[in-house]
């Protein structure tokens, strides 16, 4: 037996927005300005999705003062230009509109909430979401599990039934962050995640058009 999901959590980068160009350009500029090595293009895409500080540590090998200075330079360019060097994925607007007919939508992104809101407003997508949850501007809240907790709290404040949530995202951070809250994840197969990052997901949507049907199938009823 299955029951419908009551709320749908949605990642931003790699799920709603093809945001890699703005993120990677802004990082490359920041690293070049500081005289630091720029990872090759095949590695730069690893910055898309997880918190930027995680990428600076795991991909660029930067910590401490170098990571802090790079983040500051990155943010300056990204807020001014990079955030809008992006495009919604083909078909995602229609998919979100159809998903909203099934259950309320809640953004849950590791991108700072203020920037994520500006991006969705710029592309005319913000009104599709009941709540917009993201990282704090100082990134003390940036891990996906923490962002999801924030989204759930905002849903509680709005009186939204979140007894059967589902996450839609493209990276292992989405799968693992949702799992910490007992939430299943549908992987966005058009995003930036490698195939192995879908391990643990309940389904893979190959295109945005697949999402409404997968979500409509509902959650497994434990009873």
Q: Active-site residues: which are they?
A: 11
CB contact at 8 A, 9 and 166: yes
CB contact at 8 A, 147 and 153: no
Nearest to 138 by CA among 68, 34, 70: 68
CB contact at 8 A, 76 and 52: no
Kindly state the tokens that stand for 72.
Answer: 């500051």
């Amino acid at each position: 037996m299955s029951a419908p999901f009551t709320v749908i959590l949605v990642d931003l980068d790699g799920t709603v927005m093809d945001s890699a160009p703005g993120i990677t350009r802004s990082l490359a500029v920041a690293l070049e300005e500081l005289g630091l090595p720029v990872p090759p293009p095949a590695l730069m895409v690893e910055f898309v999705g997880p918190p930027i500080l995680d990428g600076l540590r795991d991909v660029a090998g930067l910590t401490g003062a170098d990571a802090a200075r790079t983040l500051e330079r990155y943010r300056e360019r990204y807020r001014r230009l990079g955030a809008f060097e992006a495009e919604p994925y083909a078909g995602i607007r229609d998919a979100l509109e159809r998903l909203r007919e099934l259950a309320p939508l809640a953004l849950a992104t590791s991108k700072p909430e203020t920037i994520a809101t500006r991006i969705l407003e710029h592309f005319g997508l913000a009104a599709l979401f009941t709540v917009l949850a993201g990282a704090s501007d100082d990134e003390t809240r940036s891990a996906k599990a923490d962002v999801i907790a924030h989204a759930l709290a905002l849903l509680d404040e709005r009186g939204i039934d979140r007894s059967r949530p589902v996450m839609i995202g493209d990276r292992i951070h989405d799968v693992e962050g949702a799992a910490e809250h007992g939430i299943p994840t549908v992987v966005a197969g058009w995003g930036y995640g490698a195939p192995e990052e879908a391990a643990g997901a309940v389904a893979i949507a190959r295109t945005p058009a697949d999402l409404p049907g997968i979500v409509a199938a509902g959650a497994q009823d434990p009873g």
